[in-house]
Structure 1
């Protein structure tokens, strides 16, 4: 019995060793747990950091002669720093906490070789938390960058506009147009040789004998045609996916071709491609051209497909002539929110709160023009309203140019959308608008503000 008891009871030294081994095992186990926990926490933190990186969901580029726009869209606002570098000319944009997604990488392949401003796009990690975007340039530029809050179907957008350091002169482009080779637009003669003070183009020879041998000067009527929307702003979209911006540009181009074939008329487009021009800049271009008329082309939309017909609108001094006109004006005025406008740039037109007397007279002329155009459009399409309507359209606020907005048809109506997509119908619309313009001038001869002269 004693022997059995001695075998079952450990000695003091054995107990101490066992206790020490147990303590070591516990400390090792605790340390392992802490290490595993630390690794898990580190992995989790790394995952969280990765999730905090901003992902670019869409990268778009809109090249044109006037400027090139690059847009980066994301779910949250992008913080950035913009700088320019010389020798060679580059624009550098540092993007904070933005990951280099496949969508961004594909942007390099979207640079059009014909882009007049950007040669190439490159990306690289300048710092761990800074993604650097570099634009290699073809010419000296004046870049602008700004952010746009979510609107419509868009999320947060960082917009980078690349303007040439020497912007193209609309009047010079107008004069260089070869559609009417041998003719030019100039101001009313002053001492026989004065040309537009903006361009100082000395093209009228002062030799009296040579001047007498030239054909008699005739009045050149200048029409500014404004295709609505463009670029980031698609305008109304039909159920089939037809975009208003494409319809308006197609009709505007046809109208320009027809006007340019008239012996005493010439037209210029506010945009001649798929890019956005702000509402105020459309007016600025019309005034730079000394335009006699401003015609903005649109294709209406409504939330019900049965709405149909063409309409013509002019600016209002006091308010909309109908609830529908007011609604449409508010919708069209929101184009700058969708298209993207740098709010830091002063706007000489849209911030106008009072209409002067000259604009009152201009509105009266706009109503006459609108009535003439509406009567001609009524020959090829149902009229939504039989009279010219008025509302506070921002794009019609030129103080000295009669201006109308033509809603050619409802793109939201399946039957009218089919017509708007048809090239033959687009041609008929352009012919009707031109017929209305000619009818207006037959009753309201233009003032002697500009002339067309033959050049040797």
Structure 2
């Protein structure tokens, strides 16, 4: 009996020593695998998720690639050098300098636990690595492209024309696929279970980390999407290459989708019906006006002459319109976004329709990258006479206020003005790809004029 008690006491003491070690090991679950070798991460340094952006410690990666890394505490700047390759990053600033050129990151570098972390995508694009992220196991896979053999020819006479997928994301009812070139996918809806199958012809995986052989499958984290049980992707076949993405739906009675290709990204917007509580219409006699600053969040829109995203301009102008309309006692104002987030186009449409809005105005900036001399203001409506009347009135005020070239009012088949049920317009204020117009559009004074013109047009249309 005494022997058993002594053994139990000894076992309990042993557990006291072992348990803290196991707890510390479990706390640091993230790993970085570089060219097949796991990197040793310092204490408290790990891969983090910041607003759905996977961030990795830049010093750990750079030094293992034999880059020279210098940190300036005063300026919070990291400079990275390898031969002629030079990269400069500053904590809190979304623009980096790569070989004397400005590069916009999708999220600024951050200081976390005394370590500078940067977006995983930046490492892929600017440091010559193929990147993979295993969300389930929390593992980043990095492969030096200099050591990756080139893919063999598929023998179909189309060598060099295969499109490459570099990143796949799903959030806010939106599938976003980053790729080299525009490819029209084949989209199929299937039953039991409800799912959407997206097939990209002549497409292979690029900087996605480990190459998925035919039959292997990757999966995305969909825990924040209650209507989606799984998003999986695979190389469906390789002669010729074809990437397949399957979105498996959950508790959905109906689904609609729309697609577009914007700034190197294929975007599939899903509008799912599962009995949500509709927005409560305003019933106090005020006119309901919905202002929609275009793009936002994961969708930057077009890029301006000086490499600024359209989403910044549309939000800045939208907030100025908001400030003016809030002063109108007979208008109930609703914004589709007030920060750098991306409601899908379907969500913007649903918001306006559920509110039974009186007016819907979507704000955008235009661009023709190949023709920077193109300029002017144009306004779009879709078929309805009421929308055309609203477009004519606001367009008139914009031309008078801004003095840009009049590119006229046009009928356009655009989702946010096609599927809304009230008078709806989409404003292309000017061309961000034109140096002079971009400078004007980004100025406070011109934005003030444009905001006032939009408000004057709305008030005139509503007889206020």
Taking structure 1 as the reference length, what is the TM-score of the superposition? 0.46
Write 1 or 2 for the structure with the bigger share of helix: 1
Q: Which has the bigger relative contact order, CA under 8 A and spacing at least 6?
A: 1
Q: Choose 1 or 2 for highest CA Rg.
A: 1
Taking structure 2 as the reference length, what is the TM-score of the superposition? 0.45
